[in-house]
Structure 1
């Protein structure tokens, strides 16, 4: 049996010689003074040898550990030398499979399933927030604390929602990596519980009229789908909830060619409990301004053949993505400053300030009614949702006049370029005979 004293005192000779240990482990001492750990074994009827490293870089204890591990592999009927080569090759491949490499491969595989704008947003978020932090690490070696660190840095700049989305995208990359055999676990899987909760309360909104116009104008110049631009303008004019807008159907509109155009949103599509949704006479009535009708006139050739005003580009029978308008605002540079729901806050703030300046205190309750807010101490069922319709129509027109004073015609939004070259929403479609209203052809003055 060897010990450290024997190993240290071993001197080179004219010829190489061995210092043997137990179970065929030995130290080969070369004439040049080098000392190499080797182990002899038999496999497949042949005598073979493995080397375990150079002494003293590999100590006696470490050499014996390597020998014992090799003997265990041999006892399983495997050649330890082959297993070692395969392990080295696997380690090399694992090192080459960095997070960035696998993430870009994942993105390339799945991007055809996403809208191009969404696909671009995903890649930009990875390039901005993830690749600089963990992109160069082997994907199989990344542990949860490293992922938490990069998510905390995103939270530190106030982007709580972004941190949650980034965690989800990292997790999606790992699901792909596990399926491809380049990772065994997902370090981001359980991290949702340790992230900061989203701030509740009022959502980001621009409530200054001039800045609101500038924001709408900037967003409408983005190369988006025409129906997305029109949807945002219509949302701003009607101040309905984004979910109510996405589900809007052509058969919900009345008298569009008449003097009192109206959007009747069925009670079952409104926010509230089941009693609210079953309420008789509970439809939300939205009087439409001339500008709102003009948007519908521009939208009709694009989606008039569909039941929905704002259908998905890929699935015309489904509503547009709930993120479409939000992404439009984000791309325009208003992330964290204004969200689609913020148009309701803008309408409420600006119109109530106008009512205060003009001494129209009674209009405050009407403005709440236009937002489908139930006054305090009023039950849903006892609330007259059709009240004050003439004044609501006047206020809707006043709001539209203020909001669109510096905005282009809806037809301009249709004719601006779309980022999707294959966007079939630009097609003009015939008027279905089942619809009981008719829009006249576009005039030169439109």
Structure 2
């Protein structure tokens, strides 16, 4: 037989609070009013109303505060309880509905800027990407930041994008439209607007010409560069010496090599495993780089120098940080090549071209080693650990080939 709960009275509520205040040892109070409503006094004397209920779908127990006493009276608490029970009868979770209402209420006048600020908190971007995007946000805020998001028109977005398109900054214009579109999608999800007006101009903006990363594919030039790298080592920061020696052999993104940690280097199994920042949000899978004899030796030498720190290529100025972002390209410019003739990122294109055209390795294995997503005949993405033996052979052959080119250029 269910327990019969006698409804509370105002006198009982006041008496409970008065009695609690007189106690020398404070004991929490919990009084039931029926249908899940409770009057609570905690150890600190904080008095409030609480509704206990079962969530509509999961049926898990949950509770929600109905306000503090005496600001919310017994009668008002009962009205709120009945409202929430009506929601539950419609399979609406009152806690989730309140959360959604609070999220909407936090945006001041639903302005583009206030919504964009909240959206940006959800982004997981590298600091360098955040800095690059700040220019875009500043211009969007200046143009439409104070407008309520549901009154902004496609022509307003187009106008600010075309300011930069007319200056030939097509990529900036496209990034501006893209960022605006992301904010509108976020606002639609929160119920703050109905249409993504930024998407309506996507086909109007000009398409800029793609600038490919500079890469050396001429064997003689590549050999000369490798010779210069080894010849001029020891003339600066030792970590920079090693990063430019290792990078051509592993052809990962320069930022990934700069951020390499000793914890990820497996000397016994001759591998370096890490999750590329560029893909961690999509796959969160580790990329495995087999270490050739040459690369393993370089890491072993470097470990004797920086092995006591977290990062392999640690900054000599601040042992808690890696060498700077521009370090690799600056060092490469010192090796007798014209400004921009080669870059750290260009070694990726160099390896892709020569491994395919000269060493004749399967393009699928090359793409895998570049940490690109490669799919099999059924359209499924290869696991990054797949074909590791084949890629180990390929990486050793690549290092041997680089050594051959370097020695052919030794005077």
TM-score range, shorter chain: 0.3 to 0.5
Greater RCO, CA 8 A, separation 6+? 1
Q: TM-score, structure 1 length as denominator? A: 0.42
